[in-house]
Structure 1
Amino acid sequence: MVASTPGRRVLTVAVTAAVLAGGSATAAGASTGHHPVATWSMNEGAGARTMIDSSGNGLHGSIGGEVVTDVGVRGATGYRFTRLQPDRPPAHPRHLVTVADSSALDPGSRDYAVTLRLRTTYQFGNIIQKGQATASGGNFKLQIPNGIVQCLFRGSNGTIIVQASRRINDGWWHVVRCERTGSGVSLAVDGRTVARRGGWTGPIANGWPLSIGGKTDCDQRDVGCDYYAGDLDWVEIEAR
Structure 2
Amino acid sequence: MRRRPTLAAITLLTCVFALTPGSPADAAEDHRMAVWSMDETAGSAWMLDTSGRGHHGQIGPEVGTGLSTGYEMGYTFERLEPDTPPARPGHVVRVADHSDLDPADREFAVTIRLRTNRKFGNIIQKGQATVRGGSWKVQLPNGRATCTYRGSRGTIELIAPYRINDGAWHVVRCVRLRQGVYLTIDGYQAKSREGWVGTIDNDWPVSIGGKLDCDQVEVGCDYYAGDLDWITVEAA
Q: Distance in 1 between matches of 2:111 and 2:35?
A: 10
Structure 1 residues 109-164: Cα deviation after superposition (integer angstroms, max 9, x where no partner): 00000001000000000000000001000000000001000000000000001111
Provide closer, same or farther for how the CA distance between residues 28 and 52 of structure 1 changes in structure 2, counting only shifts above 3 A: closer
1:59-117 deviation digits (Å, cap 9, x = unpaired): 00000000000011444420000000000000000000010111111000000000010
Mapped partners of 1:73, 1:136: distance in 2? 37
Kindly provide the amino acid, as one letter, of the partner of residue 107 in structure 1: P
Taking only aligned residues, the RMSD between alpha carbons, in angstroms, comes to 1.8
Q: Deviations over 1:22-70 (max 9, x none)?
A: xxx536976x796100000000011001000000000000000000000
1:228 aligned to which of 218, 224, 233:
224
State yes or no: 1:153 paired with 2:149.
yes
List aligned pairs for 1:1-240, cutoff 5 A: 12-13=18-19, 26=23, 35-240=31-236
Q: Structure 1: any 5+ residue segments left out of the alignment?
A: 1-10, 16-24
Query: How many residues align structurally?
Result: 220
Q: Is the 8 A contact 2:69 2:229 kept in 1?
A: no
Contact 2:125 2:138 in 1 (8 A): yes
More helix by share: 2
Seq. identity, % = 56
- Partner SS, residue 129 of structure 1: strand
TM-score (norm 2): 0.89
C-alpha separation in 1, matches of 2:125 and 2:198: 17
Report the equivalent of 2:3. Answer: none
Aligned with 1:94: secondary structure? helix
Seen in structure 2, the aligned counterparts of structure 1 residues 170 and 79 have a Cα distance that, compared at 3 Å, is same
CA distance in 2, matches of 1:154, 1:33: 26
Counterpart in the other structure of 2:7: none
- Specify the SS of the correspondent of 2:94: strand
Question: Which residue of structure 2 lines up, in the alignment, with residue 7 of structure 1?
Answer: none
List structure 1 segments (4+ residues) > 2 angstroms apart after TM superposition. Answer: 11-15, 25-30, 73-76
Q: TM-score, normalised by structure 1?
A: 0.88
Q: Are the equivalent residues in 2 in contact too, given 1:115–1:236 (CA < 8 A)?
A: yes
Q: Which runs of 5+ in 2 are unaligned?
A: 1-16
